[in-house]
Amino acid sequence: MSLQAITLRQLRSVQAVNRLGTIAAAARTLGLTAPAITLQIKQMEEAFGLPLFDRTSDGMRIKEAGACVLSAANAIEHALRDMRDEIDALKGLKRGRVRLGVVSTAKYFAPSILAAFGAEHPGIDIELEVGNKSRIAEDLRTMALDIALMGTPPRDLPIRARVFGDHPLVVVAAPGHALAARRSLELQDLAGHRMLVRERGSGTRRSLELFVRDMPELLDDRLLELDSNETIKQSVMAGLGIAFLSAHTVALEVELGRLVILNVAGTPIRRQWFAVTRADRVPTPAESAFWDFLMRRAARFLPVLPNLYDEANV
C-alpha cells in the first residue's frame, strides 16, 4: 500500500488506539471489529516501513513513527472541522467545537469560564481536557488541542500566547501547624518541615524549584511528592506538612478556615495565566469566539483571596 492510499479510517484508527490504549476499545468506539483495526494498523506500518505502536501487556504504546502519524491525523481532522465550521459560518449557523486543554490548577476556574461562554454561544461545544503542563504542551504539539490555559507557554512550538489574568502562588499549612501562628517567615524557616509537592512536569513544581533555588535542600528534606492538588490539600489539612500551591486552588479552604496562607518572604509569587494556541494554523470561527471571550471576560472568573496580599507581602 502506498502512502497516497492511506485513508481517513486508518488515521482515525491510530487516533483511537492511542487515545484508548487497546485495539478492542478502539474497535468498540469506531464500530469496527478488532481484526479490522489490527489490519488497518498493520497496513500503515507496512506503508511506512516502521512500527507505529509497541504491543505491551498494558496495552498499545505509541512509538515515534506513530506520533508523526498521529500529529498528521489530528491536523487533517482539524482541517476538516475548519471546513465544516467555515461553511456553517457562511450559512449563518452559530455552530462549532473547541478542544480546550487546561493545566490541573486551572480546573478550579475553567468550568465557570465555560459556563459563561456557553451562555453567550450556546451552539459552540467545548471539549475539555485536564492534565499537567507536560501533557497539555504535548497535545498542543500534536494539534490534539485548539486552545490551552496554562501558566507558562511552551517555548519549542510556534504559538500565540496572551495573558488573561494574574496567578499567585503561596505556601499553605493547616491552622494548627507550628508555622501557622508565625506572623512572618523566611525561606529557611521552612527547613525541617515536610514539603508536599506536585509531580515533575507540573508548572507548580517548576515554580517551586525556582523559588527555592538558593536553598535546594528544602526539596530534599522530608519531601512528599503527590500528583494532584486535591490530594495535596487534603494531606495538608490532615497535618502531613506544608505545601506550595496556586492561590486559586485553595481559595475555598482558606475562606472556610481549613487552610492558612503562610506569610513567607517573597510570596505570593506572582505569575500569570496565558491562553495559548498554535500560530501556524488558522483558527475556526468557534475558536476565535472563545479566544475573544477569554480576553474580555476570563479574568473575572479567577478565584479571589481577600487576605492574600497583606501588608507584609506587598
- Per-residue pLDDT tens for 67-117? 999 999 999 988 888 888 777 765 665 678 899 999 988 998 999 999 999
In sequence order, the 6+-apart residues with CB closer than 8 A to the CB of 80 are none
Q: How many CA atoms lie within 13 A of 116 on its CB side?
A: 16
- Residue 312: pLDDT band (50, 70, 90) is very low
Stretch 159-183: mean pLDDT, rounded?
Answer: 93
Please determine, for residue 4, whether its predicted confidence score (pLDDT) is greater than 90.
Answer: no
The closest alpha carbon to 200, from 188, 191, 208, 192, belongs to 208
Question: Rounded mean pLDDT of the chain?
Answer: 88
C-alpha cell at 112: 465557570
Q: What percent of the chain has pLDDT above 90?
A: 55
- List % helix, strand, coil for the chain (3-state, nearest 5): 45, 20, 35
Distances in Å between the Cα of 240 and the Cα atoms of 94, 210, 232, 272 are 51, 23, 9, 29
The set of long-range contacts for 134-140, using a CB threshold of 8 Å and a minimum separation of 24, is: 134/201, 134/202, 135/201, 136/101, 136/102, 136/103, 139/101, 140/101, 140/276, 140/277, 140/278
Query: Would you state the pLDDT for residue 313?
Result: 37
Of residues 50 and 219, more confidently modeled: 50
- Residue 181: pLDDT band (50, 70, 90) is confident
Query: Would you state the pLDDT for residue 311?
Result: 39
Query: Would you state the pLDDT for residue 209?
Result: 86
Query: Would you state the pLDDT for residue 93?
Result: 54
Query: Would you state the pLDDT for residue 203?
Result: 79
Query: Would you state the pLDDT for residue 212?
Result: 85
Please determine, for residue 232, whether its predicted confidence score (pLDDT) is greater than 50.
Answer: yes
Query: Would you state the pLDDT for residue 2?
Result: 61
User: Per residue in 198-207, pLDDT tens?
Assistant: 888 777 888 8
User: Per residue in 15-62, pLDDT tens?
Assistant: 999 999 999 999 999 999 999 999 999 999 998 999 999 999 888 999
Contact (Cβ atoms closer than 8 angstroms) between residue 244 and residue 236? no
SS3 per residue for 83-138: HHHHHHHHCCCCCEEEEEEEEHHHHHCHHHHHHHHHHHCCCEEEEEEEECHHHHHH
Query: Would you state the pLDDT for residue 228?
Result: 85
Stretch 240-264: mean pLDDT, rounded?
Answer: 91
Its pTM surpasses 0.75: no
Query: Would you state the pLDDT for residue 200?
Result: 80
C-alpha cell at 89: 459560518
Separation CA 35–CA 23 (nearest Å): 9
Stretch 6-14: mean pLDDT, rounded?
Answer: 92
- Residue 310: pLDDT band (50, 70, 90) is very low
C-alpha cell at 180: 501557622
User: Per residue in 114-159, pLDDT tens?
Assistant: 999 999 888 899 999 999 888 999 999 999 999 999 988 999 899 9
